[in-house]
Chains A and B, each alone.
Chain A
Amino acid sequence: GENVEQHPSTLSVQEGDSAVIKCTYSDSASNYFPWYKQELGKRPQLIIDIRSNVGEKKDQRIAVTLNKTAKHFSLHITETQPEDSAVYFCAATSYNFNKFYFGSGTKLNVKP
């Protein structure tokens, strides 16, 4: 199966700074990579995703990059705000798996 590793486990940034979370995956068959944000006690919410046929995708302050050769993808949040504080999970999947493999999560703390 797939193995997804995520770093760092915790990240503290000052409001307005950028935050970067990195994930690696092991199976080259993975072709879809969503990122989820989970606030305490709530459901994970999709914030952005990327498919293997593109290298970068951006949505306002959030961007994701994918390097298929190196098998890693990253989440970039610019101009961070206190409401960005949450746990972020990366995931990988493909048609072959029919299941999602999640990273271990990154707790982001944005200090006002």
Chain B
Amino acid sequence: GAVVSQHPSRVICKSGTSVKIECRSLDFQATTMFWYRQFPKQSLMLMATSNEGSKATYEQGVEKDKFLINHASLTLSTLTVTSAHPEDSSFYICSARDERVSSYNSPLHFGNGTRLTVT
């Protein structure tokens, strides 16, 4: 089955520092990856769509300079939270479709998520 690996699973950082989160598709290539943010007891909110070899597409209200996304290869996307503040504390989850199955009519496979705490 399709496996998406995300690291780190948990990070605590001080306010003002930057944090990088990695998302890898382990056994398939993903030209597109999706980054979600989830607050406690809430739904998955799409932040941005990461496109291999081109700029990410951000959802309305998401600051692209705050959340930097890089999709440098077909198996790796990174999300960098720059100058983190306590309000950035959240659960960040990446996901990807297994494009071997279908480019659109197949499920998302999620990484384990990263619990970010900014002190």
Contacts and interface: CB of A to CB of B under 8 A. Distances in A.
B43 interface: yes
A23 to B, nearest CB: 12
Contacts of B41: 107
A49 B107 contact: yes
Q: Chain A interface residue count: which class?
A: 20 to 34
Interface residues of B, number: 22
Contacts, number: 52
A99 B105 contact: no
B113 A42 contact: yes
A43 B105 contact: no
Given A98-B32, A99-B34, A104-B43, A43 B107 contact: no
Interface string B102-113: 011111111111
A41 B34 contact: no
B115 interface: yes
Interface of A: 31-32, 34, 36, 41-46, 49, 51, 89, 91, 93-95, 98-105, 107
